Chains A and B, each alone.
Chain A
Amino acid sequence: MAGTALRGRLTWQVATVAALTRETASVCTIGLEPPDWPGHRAGQHLDVRLTAEDGYRAERSYSIASAPGEQLAITVERLDDGEVSPYLTEELQVGDELELRGPIGGYFVWDPGDGSPLTLLAGGSGIVPLRSILRYRVRTGSDVPARLLYSARTLPDVIYRDELGHHHDGVEVSYTLTRSQPPGWTGHTGRIDAGLLAGAAWPAAANPVAYVCGPTSFVETAAAGLVDLGYPPERVKTERFGATGGP
């Protein structure tokens, strides 16, 4: 590779917790001020490392929730059997220090220069990197049309519900609630399937690009469904975070 600058090395740094926002009963957004942040791309993640007093270390990856240019933030869902997320969502205080490194990832990223219509499919906390994309879309004044289908267990489990309700210009947001629905619910119900996808995704003829993030089973179903609808596999970008925490 000719003319390559010094190859990237990720270094751990100690960020200060600048803000904490409770999103749902089990989900918290953590605003962070790292001393040296080179800026990120929408859809990237970072690694967090906790070190116990005895030296034991646990490392996790979290999607970045904020748009490039905004204060760095991650949104974390508490997993009851987790080693890291209970601390991050229940015990962390503003002013605390948190060890992190990033930004990381060059595959599941969106560039506003890509004018393709956006099909965004989120399962549970898979909404987090898609929220960064939507915020960046607004921030850059992009007029790319976007459709978001967000699958959650129940309405109170929906993360960023107020914010997603405020997207209007060129953004269509729809929900499917898989476990229970409030009285008078007019959105979709049940897990994502071919019929739901056909109505919620841009038709393949519009040359859309899709970002699918959620638990593995959700991503597999959604990505295969988009390919069945005619999406070329390379136009369906996927990120899976295991079975826990999803709908």
Chain B
Amino acid sequence: MEPLDGNSIGGLLIDVFGAEMTGASGTCGTCGATGPVAGLVVYRQAPGTVARCRVCGAILMVFVKVRGMTCVDLTGMARLDQPGAA
């Protein structure tokens, strides 16, 4: 299955962050590339969702849903700026 992009997880990101995040700016902790979350490479296969940097392929975000709870790993992300936030 081909990957999608970050637009496709807009709903999941609202579940996790409580806000629209596809337009948020993310910075890769590995290569430093910065761009909208919408542009990340997203794999939505069970059991989880993985978002990778489009430039270097590093894993930036992992979401795994277990018994109704979503476990979130953002350690690959150096920075995540929500649009409009001060």
Residues of A near any B CB (own CB < 8 A): 1-2, 7-10, 45, 47, 61, 101-102, 104-108, 215-216, 233, 237-244
CB distance from A217 to the nearest CB of B (A): 9
Q: Which residues of A contact B84 (CB under 8 A)?
A: 1
Residues of B near any A CB (own CB < 8 A): 1-8, 10-11, 14-15, 18-20, 22-23, 35-39, 83-86
Q: Which residues of A contact B22 (CB under 8 A)?
A: 104-108
- Is A239 within 8 A of B5, CB to CB? yes
Q: List 6 additional contacts besides A233-B35, A244-B2; criterion CB under 8 Å.
A: A9-B18, A10-B15, A47-B11, A105-B22, A106-B10, A241-B8
The 3 closest A-B pairs by CB, nearest first: A243-B2, A242-B2, A106-B20
Q: A8-B20, A105-B20, A106-B23 are in contact. Are A45 and B7 (CB under 8 A)?
A: yes
Q: Closest chain A residue to B7 by CB distance? A: A239
Q: A1-B85, A108-B22 are in contact. Are A240 and B11 (CB under 8 A)?
A: no
Query: Which of B8, B11, B19, B39 is in CB contact (< 8 Å) with A7?
Result: B19
Q: Which residues of B contact A61 (CB under 8 A)?
A: 4, 7-8, 10-11
Q: Closest chain A residue to B22 by CB distance? A: A107
**In the bound complex, what is the Cα–Cα distance between A194 and B5 (angstroms)?**
23
- Is B2 within 8 A of A107, CB to CB? no
CB distance from A216 to the nearest CB of B (A): 6
Q: Closest chain B residue to A109 by CB distance? A: B23
- Is B7 within 8 A of A108, CB to CB? yes
Among A45, A47, A106, A215, chain B packs the most CB atoms within 10 A around the CB of A106
Q: Closest chain B residue to A1 by CB distance? A: B85
- Is A10 within 8 A of B14, CB to CB? yes
Query: Which of A106, A108, A237, A241 is in CB contact (< 8 Å) with B4?
Result: A241
- Is A104 within 8 A of B86, CB to CB? no
